[in-house]
């Protein structure tokens, strides 16, 4: 694709008005812009402009079968992008009331106004209202919903800073809005609701994220999808191989399964640098990066995950070994990302 100049604009308070104005002008003209959300940076396009959305797929080199999330700036926009079936309306409204604006995406029957390219031809659309003030202000100023996957080349590590977006998409997009580091660090939780009549509804978690199983349980019976989808996903972020560094990332059932090859350089992605986990003293690592140094806090680990993966990817290693984290709460989302990054490389 032809190279263009990529600019970065600050979204600090004194610069917010200019950032919103310039991003909105580009989106209204059918261009694409990288914008921060609370989860990761998104590559935004007018969701009702099929040609603009096609530019998102081209810039990311994203396959057409992988659908996008549509972001609304307020609940008033929901009927514009999705239908709300009567049998699941109460739980959808409850979830929206509890978690919007925030990192929860809900899959619903799509409105006819949403182009098929956005949903990859599916009859459903993934919708959320971002917790990012700058993102919502741009959507409000545009007056239309925004389609926005993560602002990186397809399958690569999701960006949680403007500099990471620049490394991924420099020369491919005209503008990056710099809102600083993302507060959540992993992509939104994606759910689909299934009515069961008089019984509590089923909440299918199609992608784990910051809104955890424990958070969702009071709204229905939660079912977490275990299968990694290899093709034709029903929601974004379901492909078996995803979120991957260029350096092979390896995971093992137990530490002693790691058999280093002579002459190769290995780095360790550790949870908290604890020798008791069995990895720190296993090998003379070229570099060790910790997700939550010493404390083992899953919230901190989630925020640092993509930053640490990207840093290790830039160290000239032959492989990265990832230490597992506990699969409780946010640990489910972290392990989901690590497994997808390691698919085909174990």
Instruction: Quote the strand ranges of 129-241, DSSP E.
Output: 146-147, 175-178, 189-196, 199-207, 221-224
Give mean pLDDT, residues 160-167: 97
Q: Residue 1's pLDDT is what? A: 58
Count Cβ atoms below 10 Å from residue 165 Cβ, excluding itself: 28
Give 345's pLDDT tier (boundaries 50, 70, 90).
very low
**Residues 6+ positions from 329 with CB-CB distance below 8 Å:** 212, 213, 214, 298
**Residue written as token pair 């993102």:** 135
Q: What contacts 246, CB < 8 A, 6 or more positions away?
A: 156, 313
Residue 229 has pLDDT above 60, yes or no: no
Per residue in 96-113, pLDDT (tens digit) is 999 999 999 999 999 999
Identify the weakest region by mean pLDDT among 27-31, 59-63, 92-96: 59-63
- Angle formed by the axes of helices 16-28 and 133-142, to 10°? 50
What is each CA distance from 89 to 264, 281, 299, in whole angstroms?
A: 55, 53, 31
Q: What is the mean pLDDT of residues 337-344?
A: 84
User: Sorting pLDDT into bands at 50, 70 and 90, what band is 301?
Assistant: very high
> Across residues 136-163, what is the average pLDDT?
96
pLDDT at 188: 97
320 beta partners: 249, 267
Backbone angles phi, psi at 246, to 5 degrees: -70, -35
Tell me if 71 sits within 8 A of 128, measured CB to CB.
yes
Q: How far is CA 119 from CA 103, 116, 140, 217, 304, in A?
A: 19, 5, 22, 28, 30
Q: How far apart are CA 57 and CA 181, in angstroms?
A: 24
Q: In this structure, what token pair is assigned to residue 250?
A: 């390896």
Which domains occur in the chain, in start order?
A: 7-78+112-178 (3.90.870.10), 249-342 (3.40.50.11030)
- Residue 218, CB half-sphere, CA atoms under 13 Å: how many? 6
Residues whose CB falls within 8 Å of the CB of residue 264, separated by 6 or more in sequence, listed in order? 318, 319
Model confidence pLDDT, tens digit, residues 1-27? 557 999 999 999 889 999 999 999 999
pLDDT-above-90 percentage for the chain: 88
- Contacting residues for 14 by C-beta, under 8 A, at least 6 apart: none
Give the lowest-confidence range in 2-6, 34-38, 297-301, 321-325.
2-6
194-204 residues labelled b (16+ CB within 10 A) or e (exposed): ebeeeeebbbb
pLDDT, position 236: 80
pLDDT tens digits for 236-295? 877 666 778 999 999 999 999 999 999 999 999 999 999 999 999 999 999 999 999 988
Per-residue pLDDT band for 228 (boundaries 50, 70, 90) equals low
Residue reference for tokens 């959540």: 184
* Per-residue pLDDT at 227 exceeds 60: no
Cα distance between residue 21 and residue 15, in whole Å: 10
**Which residues are CB-neighbours of 274 under 8 A, at least 6 positions away?**
280, 296
Assessment of whether the complete model's pTM goes beyond 0.75 = yes
- Please tell me the predicted confidence (pLDDT) of residue 232: 66
- Residue 204 structure tokens: 């299918």
Dist. CA 166–CA 162, nearest whole Å: 6
| Environment class of 293 (CB within 10 Å of its CB; exposed 0-12, middle 13-18, buried 19+) | middle
- The pLDDT score that the predictor gives to residue 346 is 43
**Average pLDDT, rounded, for the chain:** 94
pLDDT for the residue 94: 98
The CB density around residue 299, as the number of other CB atoms within 10 Å, is 14
The per-residue pLDDT for 51 is 97
């Amino acid at each position: 694709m032809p190279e263009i100049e990529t600019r970065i604009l600050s979204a600090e308070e004194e610069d917010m008005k200019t950032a919103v104005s310039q991003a909105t002008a580009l989106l209204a003209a059918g261009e694409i812009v990288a914008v921060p959300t609370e989860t990761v940076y998104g590559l935004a396009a007018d969701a009702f402009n099929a040609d603009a959305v096609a530019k998102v797929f081209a810039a990311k080199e994203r396959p057409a079968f992988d659908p996008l999330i549509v972001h609304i700036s307020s609940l008033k926009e929901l009927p514009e992008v999705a239908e709300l079936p009567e049998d699941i309306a109460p739980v959808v409204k409850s979830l929206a009331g509890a978690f919007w604006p925030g990192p929860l995406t809900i899959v619903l029957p799509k409105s006819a106004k949403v182009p098929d390219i956005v949903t990859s031809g599916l009859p459903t659309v993934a919708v959320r209202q971002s917790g990012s003030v700058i993102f919502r202000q741009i959507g409000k100023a545009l007056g239309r919903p925004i389609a926005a996957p993560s602002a990186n080349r397809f399958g690569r590590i999701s960006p949680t800073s403007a500099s990471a977006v620049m490394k991924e998409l420099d020369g491919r997009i005209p503008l990056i809005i710099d809102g600083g580091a993302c507060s959540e660090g992993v992509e939104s939780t994606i759910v689909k609701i299934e009515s069961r009549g008089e019984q509590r509804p089923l909440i299918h978690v199609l992608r784990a994220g910051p809104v955890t199983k424990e958070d969702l349980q009071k709204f229905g019976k939660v079912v977490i999808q275990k299968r990694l989808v290899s093709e034709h996903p029903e929601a974004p972020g379901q492909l078996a191989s995803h979120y991957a560094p260029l350096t092979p990332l390896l995971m093992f059932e137990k530490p002693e399964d790691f058999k280093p090859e002579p002459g190769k350089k290995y780095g360790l992605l550790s949870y908290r640098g604890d020798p008791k986990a069995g990895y720190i003293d296993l090998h003379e690592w070229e570099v060790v990066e910790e997700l939550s140094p010493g404390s083992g806090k899953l919230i901190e680990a989630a925020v640092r995950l993509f930053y640490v993966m990207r840093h290790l990817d830039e160290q000239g290693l032959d492989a990265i070994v990832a230490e597992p984290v506990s699969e409780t709460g946010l640990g489910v989302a972290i392990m989901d990302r690590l497994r997808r990054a390691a698919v085909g490389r174990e």
